[in-house]
Chain A
């Protein structure tokens, strides 16, 4: 069990997945309750051209991903304003355009080899800069969620009444999407463009089956995500499977176990609209 820990590349990878897991798990609880899972998936895919350009230029991926996600968010907001185009359709149009652009760039002769690591992640190749970014993300998410907790709770509970309680649902949405965007941009290095959404949705969905209060749910999701990261890396080390995919598989496995445990406890909350008693 301890042998992989002596490898420097493994130490870095473990530190990366634990930091990303803590941030992604806690943030993911809000992503799930605000119905932003599709937004998370879409934002992740739409940064693909930024990643490819960064790889071609040989600069850190963060420098390509950050402008790309801002561009995608602005484009979605603009397209959604065109009469007759719903928000759903706007997201789909922008995401496929951006992802297609990324694929075009990736398949051009000038793109360097190893472009698939952008899609599936290169958790064993994280740099000091990546680790620093993950640490900053974890601190940012922890501080922001602590400050915004009460207001996020109100806006997620009942949007219609939030304003009369002194909370703007639009500001709560925006704050959450900014955090989510930052999380995706930082996590994409380790988990890849296609799999990064797993860390934001899977552990939170699992924790939701097992907890009926927000704070314990966030702590549980953060712990489960970090655990899945470590388990995935061990799987990858011993079975020789791809790092990002192994972490994503571990997250799915934890979700399935949580479903079973939730069934055994028989205590999952009623769905909205169902009245008890």
Chain B
């Protein structure tokens, strides 16, 4: 009998009123596991992340989330011209535990500083957020989730726009954080990143498949159903996804 899962979804449907944007979602995430969320743009990855955050109520089925979820959005969504330091951003993670009239104090800033050190940015705590590189900004947002004491990290396209070394470093950090017993859900387009996870969940309006990477990613039928297009083998190894049909305007 395994320990209780951090996240458990059964027949989950969620959306924004009207027809559900995602349905038939069914998976369990245990402590220490990483789950890659694969799917096309508009396929419902963000909807699922928002449901996990509790921002969308299930329209059908059951969703049990046993740990606090910390959101790590794409850093391009935040403002790079905003007058805050890396430490300021990490400190934002302390607000949900404070009453509305209290500002973060020394204790909160110390927690933020040690979270930044944990993600390898101790030296850059005083740097302006908008001046950091893409990989460093992603780490600051992970530190913010750690300050929130998140048991599950929800990362939205964490590797997009990163160069190879930054992506590798970030992947190692995510692995370490999972090793400490956190759950990790990461939305991605990158099949190789997905292969490095414990579980892969393919979604395109409804769940197409969920399971071990080898089982899911080696099934061409699954990938074609996920992306709605043809998968082609690239000579010399690797695969590419051709978009279904291109409309000319």
Taking Cβ atoms with an 8 Å cutoff, the residues of A that contact B are 33, 146-147, 149-151, 153-154, 156-158, 160-161, 163-167, 208, 211-214, 217, 269-277
Known A270-B80, A272-B80; judge A157-B73 contact (CB<8 A). no
Query: Of residues 66 to 118 in B, which have CB atoms within 8 Å of A's CB atoms?
Result: 69-71, 73, 76-85, 88-89, 91-93, 95-98, 100-101, 103-104
Partner of B131, one of A167, A269, A272: A269
Write 24 A-B pairs (CB below 8 A) sorted by A numbering. A147-B103, A150-B92, A150-B103, A151-B100, A153-B84, A156-B82, A157-B78, A157-B82, A158-B73, A163-B55, A164-B69, A164-B71, A165-B71, A165-B93, A212-B128, A213-B84, A214-B83, A214-B84, A269-B81, A269-B131, A271-B81, A275-B133, A275-B134, A276-B133
Q: A157-B82, A275-B80 given. 17 additional CB < 8 A pairs?
A: A146-B103, A149-B103, A150-B95, A153-B88, A156-B82, A157-B89, A160-B77, A161-B73, A161-B78, A164-B55, A164-B69, A164-B70, A269-B128, A269-B130, A272-B80, A273-B76, A276-B130
Which residues of chain B are within 8 angstroms of A273 by Cβ–Cβ distance?
76, 80
Which residues of chain B are within 8 angstroms of A163 by Cβ–Cβ distance?
53, 55
Say if the beta carbon of B132 comes within 8 Å of chain A. yes
Distance from A212 Cβ to chain B, minimum over Cβ atoms (Å)? 5
A117–B24 CA distance with the chains assembled, in angstroms: 66
Most buried by A among B96, B134, B136: B96
A213 and B85: CB pair below 8 A?
Answer: yes
Distance from A275 Cβ to chain B, minimum over Cβ atoms (Å)? 5
Which residues of chain B are within 8 angstroms of A276 by Cβ–Cβ distance?
130-133
Say if the beta carbon of B204 comes within 8 Å of chain A. no
Q: Which residue on chain B has the smallest CB distance to residue A158?
A: B78
A275 and B161: CB pair below 8 A?
Answer: yes
B83 and A217: CB pair below 8 A?
Answer: yes
The 3 residue pairs across chains A and B that have the minimum distance between CB atoms: A166-B96, A277-B133, A158-B78
B104 and A150: CB pair below 8 A?
Answer: yes
Q: Which residue on chain A has the smallest CB distance to residue B131?
A: A276
A157–B131 CA distance with the chains assembled, in angstroms: 15
Say if the beta carbon of B148 comes within 8 Å of chain A. yes
A157 and B103: CB pair below 8 A?
Answer: no
Q: Which residue on chain A has the smallest CB distance to residue B78?
A: A158
Count B interface residues, CB 8 Å: 39
- Produce 1/0 per residue, B115-138, CB < 8 A to A: 000000000000010111110100
B80 and A208: CB pair below 8 A?
Answer: no
A217–B85 CA distance with the chains assembled, in angstroms: 13
Distance from A160 Cβ to chain B, minimum over Cβ atoms (Å)? 6
Q: Which residue on chain B has the smallest CB distance to residue A154?
A: B92
Known A165-B96, A269-B131, A277-B133; judge A158-B80 contact (CB<8 A). no
A208–B81 CA distance with the chains assembled, in angstroms: 10
Partner of A269, one of B83, B98, B144: B83
Q: Which residue on chain A has the smallest CB distance to residue B49?
A: A164
Which residues of chain B are within 8 angstroms of A153 by Cβ–Cβ distance?
84, 88, 92
Query: Of residues 42 to 78 in B, which have CB atoms within 8 Å of A's CB atoms?
Result: 53, 55, 69-71, 73, 76-78
Q: Which residue on chain B has the smallest CB distance to residue A268?
A: B81
Which residues of chain B are within 8 angstroms of A154 by Cβ–Cβ distance?
92, 95
Partner of A277, one of B71, B77, B101, B132: B132
Distance from A270 Cβ to chain B, minimum over Cβ atoms (Å)? 5
Q: Which residue on chain A has the smallest CB distance to residue B70?
A: A164
- Produce 1/0 per residue, B145-161, CB < 8 A to A: 00010000000000001
Which residues of chain A are within 8 angstroms of B96 by Cβ–Cβ distance?
165-167
A208 and B101: CB pair below 8 A?
Answer: no
Which residues of chain B are within 8 angstroms of A212 by Cβ–Cβ distance?
83, 128
Which residues of chain B are within 8 angstroms of A150 by Cβ–Cβ distance?
91-92, 95, 98, 103-104
Distance from B239 Cβ to chain A, minimum over Cβ atoms (Å)? 29
B73 and A160: CB pair below 8 A?
Answer: yes
Which residues of chain B are within 8 angstroms of A275 by Cβ–Cβ distance?
80, 133-134, 161
Distance from A155 Cβ to chain B, minimum over Cβ atoms (Å)? 10
Which residues of chain A are within 8 angstroms of B70 by Cβ–Cβ distance?
164
Distance from B55 Cβ to chain A, minimum over Cβ atoms (Å)? 6
Distance from B225 Cβ to chain A, minimum over Cβ atoms (Å)? 29
Partner of B79, one of A146, A147, A158, A211: A158
Q: Which residue on chain A has the smallest CB distance to residue B92?
A: A154
